[in-house]
Amino acid sequence: MKFIIENVALKAVASSSGLSSAARAGVLEVRSSRPLIETPGPLLGSRGGAVPHLTNETLQFLDIANSSILLPFQHHSKQTEVMKSFKKGLGAFVGEADRVSVVSVQDPGVETPTGYNQNKAISVWGGKNRNIVDVEQYKEFVLAAKPDLVVALCDGDTPPESATKRINKAAKKTVEFLDEFLEVKTELPDMAVIGAIEGGRDSQIRKVSAIETSKRNVDGFLLDGFHCNGPSAANIQWEEIKESFLETIFHLPGDKPRFYFGPAPPDLVIELVAAGVDIFDTSYPSLVTEREAYLVFNNKFIKDSNIDDVIEININEARAKYEENFDNDELRLAQRPLVEGCSCYTCRNFTIAYLLHLVKVREMLGKVLLSLHNLHHYYTFFQAIRQAVLMDQLHLFKKQFFKAS
């Protein structure tokens, strides 16, 4: 796997301890036969092998740059024997053989119950069904699934209220898991392994985790353990995790990609990119679709524009404006698209009035069309971020974003 950094922003994000990191734009080449992944950018999230509400046919209406898909092990943990019999890998099994396949342990869009991990195993959940998985079981699945990238087994069960003892245990276990898991590289040498950095929000534990993981033969890093996935993870604010996050980034090598999984609102994405994160996922727009809402925030970048230096922001108020729902009955006659100027399939072909009707009568087409818009809107946002980073103007895009929001 090759990670080619095209530009590193001149302006860095600094912490009170003096640590800093900067945004970068690049291209990730997993294999010569696979599509390139432009960064910063998201992986297309899936559940049970399918993008929520979209079939492989309707997915063709989504025009996105990054041809990659996130396949959480959580939804495939019982399919090891099936994968062995199929022999062509998980990507081909779910009908996405042409995309870069990335296996994570947990689904970023589904809350992970806390308190169920064991000394030598973790728990993954299929609905209310708990499955206890150790490294050997996970390796067996990965060898059969043959993904392009895989996150090594890790213990990210460190919610904000976790005790230091629990956080330290999770970080040490994850390094031990990694040492054992890396044996898969002898059988799948072309597969990239992503090592997870744990430590909750404890800067010192994260520092140790980052240093120890960097010593291993990994191809990238997942900044894990800041949340327990699902809707509550979208409530994280940058200032809550800034110190521990920058401590982690500072101790990671700059030539390997950095991943952050979990529902990330656009303001958090901007801060994480500025801190040096490269790859995200699409759990945030998927959660908005589940709320039967649609994204409306500013996702365009105007280079070299003039804007006031000081913009006072209340993040909670800003996030309330990122999406709209169909509660307003005046929309039932609205003959306009969800977002003026949006080029997604939904906005080009359907009106708000029609979408409101679909949502109100619980027609499944409603969420199909909402999903297409929300994913397109989110991907367009990342294209704007990438353009801003390439031009050393991420700070300007941030001002434009909040000015419009």
- 370 and 326 Cβ atoms separated by less than 8 Å: no
Q: How far apart are CA 232 and CA 263, in angstroms?
A: 9
- 296 and 339 Cβ atoms separated by less than 8 Å: yes
Write the secondary structure of 369-385 as one string of H (helix), E (strand) and C (coil).
HHHHHHHHHHHHHHHHH
pLDDT band at 11 (very low <50, low <70, confident <90, very high): confident
Asked whether residue 66 carries a pLDDT value surpassing 80, the answer given is no
Q: How large a percentage of the chain has pLDDT more than 70?
A: 98
Q: How large a percentage of the chain has pLDDT more than 90?
A: 84
242 Cα distance to chain centroid: 18
β-bridge partners, 193: 150
Q: What is the mean pLDDT of residues 212-235?
A: 97
Pairing of strands 37-39, 20-29: antiparallel
Residue 243's CB is within 10 A of a number of other CB atoms, namely 16
* pLDDT (tens digit per residue) in 67-125: 899 999 999 999 999 999 999 999 999 999 999 999 999 999 999 999 999 999 999 99
Instruction: Quote the pLDDT of residue 13.
Output: 81
Q: What tokens appear for 158 in the block?
A: 């460190």
Query: How many residues are given for the chain?
Result: 405
* pLDDT (tens digit per residue) in 262-275: 999 999 999 999 99
* pLDDT (tens digit per residue) in 281-304: 999 999 999 999 999 999 999 988
Instruction: Quote the pLDDT of residue 405.
Output: 67
Instruction: Quote the pLDDT of residue 310.
Output: 63
* pLDDT (tens digit per residue) in 335-389: 999 999 999 999 999 999 999 999 999 999 999 999 999 999 999 999 999 999 9
Looking at per-residue pLDDT, the higher value among 402 and 202 belongs to 202
Domain with CATH 3.20.20.105 in the chain: 2-290
Instruction: Quote the pLDDT of residue 332.
Output: 85
Phi, psi for 168 (deg, rounded to 5): -65, -40
Instruction: Quote the pLDDT of residue 65.
Output: 64
Fold annotation for 2-290: TIM Barrel (3.20.20)
Asked whether residue 3 carries a pLDDT value surpassing 70, the answer given is yes
Looking at per-residue pLDDT, the higher value among 309 and 131 belongs to 131
